[in-house]
Structure 1
Amino acid sequence: MPYGGMYDVIVVGGGPAGLAAGLWLARYRRKVRVFDAEDPRNAETWAVHGYLGIKDPPPAELRKVARLQAIDAGAEYEPAVVTEITGTQDDFTVTVEDGRTFGARRILIATGLRDILPEIPNFHDFYGTSIWHCPDCDGPGIADKKVGVIGWGRSIAAYCMYMLTWTENLTILTHGHPPDMEEPAKTALERWNIPVREAVIERLEGEGGQIQRVVYHGGETEEFDALFFHIASGPGSSFPADLGCEADLDGILEVDKEHQTTVPGVYAAGDIIPGSRLALRAAAEGARAAVGIHKSLIPDDRRLK
Structure 2
Amino acid sequence: MTYGGMYDVVVIGGGPAGLSGALWLARYGRKVRVFDREEPRNADTWAVHGYPGRQDIPPAEFRKLVRLQAVDAGAEYEPACVLRVSGEKDNFEVELDDGRVFGARRLLLATGLRDIIPEIPGLPDFYGKSIWHCPDCDGPSVKDCKVGVIGWGRQIAAFCMYMLTWTDRLTILTHGHPPDLEEKARAALARWNIPVREDVIDRLEGRDGQVECAVFHDGASEDFDALFFHVASGPGASFPADLGCQADEEGSLEIDKDHETTVPGVYAAGDITPGSRLAIRAASEGVRAAIGLHKSLIGDDRRIG
Task: Please say whether Structure 1 and Structure 2 have the same fold, judged by a TM-score greater than 0.5.
Answer: yes
Find the counterpart in structure 2 of residue 126 from structure 1.
Answer: 126
Find the counterpart in structure 2 of residue 210 from structure 1.
Answer: 210
Given the alignment of the two structures, is residue 91 of structure 1 paired with residue 116 of structure 2, yes or no? no
Aligned-pair CA distance for 1:83: 0.6
- The one-letter amino acid of 1:54's match is R
Q: What secondary structure is seen at the aligned counterpart in 2 of 1:92? A: strand
1:9-36 CA distance string (max 9 Å, x none) = 0000000000000000000000000000
Paired residue total: 305
Distance in 2, Cα, partners of 1:268 & 1:73: 21
Aligned-pair CA distance for 1:251: 1.0
In the TM superposition, 1:164-175 aligns within 5 A as 164-175=164-175
Find the counterpart in structure 2 of residue 141 from structure 1.
Answer: 141
- The one-letter amino acid of 1:144's match is D
Find the counterpart in structure 2 of residue 79 from structure 1.
Answer: 79
TM-score, with length taken from structure 2: 1.00
Cα root mean square deviation, aligned:
0.4
Find the counterpart in structure 1 of residue 274 from structure 2.
Answer: 274
Aligned-pair CA distance for 1:250: 1.6
Q: Unpaired segments of 5 or more residues in structure 1?
A: none
- The one-letter amino acid of 1:223's match is D
Find the counterpart in structure 2 of residue 108 from structure 1.
Answer: 108
Distance in 1, Cα, partners of 2:250 & 2:158: 17
- The one-letter amino acid of 1:136's match is D
Distance in 2, Cα, partners of 1:22 & 1:13: 10
**Structure 1 consecutive aligned stretches of length 4 or more whose deviation exceeds 4 Å:** none
Q: What secondary structure is seen at the aligned counterpart in 2 of 1:171? A: strand
1:98-131 CA distance string (max 9 Å, x none) = 0000000000000000000001001100000000
Find the counterpart in structure 1 of residue 254 from structure 2.
Answer: 254
Aligned-pair CA distance for 1:218: 1.4
Find the counterpart in structure 1 of residue 26 from structure 2.
Answer: 26
In the TM superposition, 1:179-258 aligns within 5 A as 179-258=179-258
1:71-101 CA distance string (max 9 Å, x none) = 0000000000001000000000000010000
Distance in 2, Cα, partners of 1:201 & 1:135: 22
Distance in 1, Cα, partners of 2:52 & 2:78: 26
Aligned-pair CA distance for 1:68: 0.3
Q: What secondary structure is seen at the aligned counterpart in 1 of 2:281? A: helix
Find the counterpart in structure 1 of residue 263 from structure 2.
Answer: 263
Aligned-pair CA distance for 1:219: 1.1
1:24-53 CA distance string (max 9 Å, x none) = 000000000000000000000011101111
Aligned-pair CA distance for 1:162: 0.5
Greater Cα offset, 215-224 or 13-22: 215-224
1:195-248 CA distance string (max 9 Å, x none) = 000000001111100011110111111010000000000000000000000001
Distance in 2, Cα, partners of 1:202 & 1:271: 32
- The one-letter amino acid of 1:240's match is P
Find the counterpart in structure 1 of residue 159 from structure 2.
Answer: 159
Distance in 1, Cα, partners of 2:293 & 2:280: 20
TM-score, with length taken from structure 1: 1.00
Q: What secondary structure is seen at the aligned counterpart in 2 of 1:152? A: coil
- The one-letter amino acid of 2:196's match is V
Distance in 2, Cα, partners of 1:291 & 1:145: 42
- The one-letter amino acid of 2:100's match is R
Given the alignment of the two structures, is residue 53 of structure 1 paired with residue 56 of structure 2, yes or no? no
- The one-letter amino acid of 1:173's match is L
- The one-letter amino acid of 2:146's match is K
Distance in 2, Cα, partners of 1:242 & 1:181: 34
Aligned-pair CA distance for 1:249: 1.4
Distance in 1, Cα, partners of 2:96 & 2:227: 38
Q: Unpaired segments of 5 or more residues in structure 2?
A: none
Aligned-pair CA distance for 1:304: 1.1
Q: What secondary structure is seen at the aligned counterpart in 1 of 2:85? A: strand
- The one-letter amino acid of 1:98's match is D
Distance in 2, Cα, partners of 1:253 & 1:198: 34
Distance in 2, Cα, partners of 1:175 & 1:157: 15
- The one-letter amino acid of 1:11's match is V
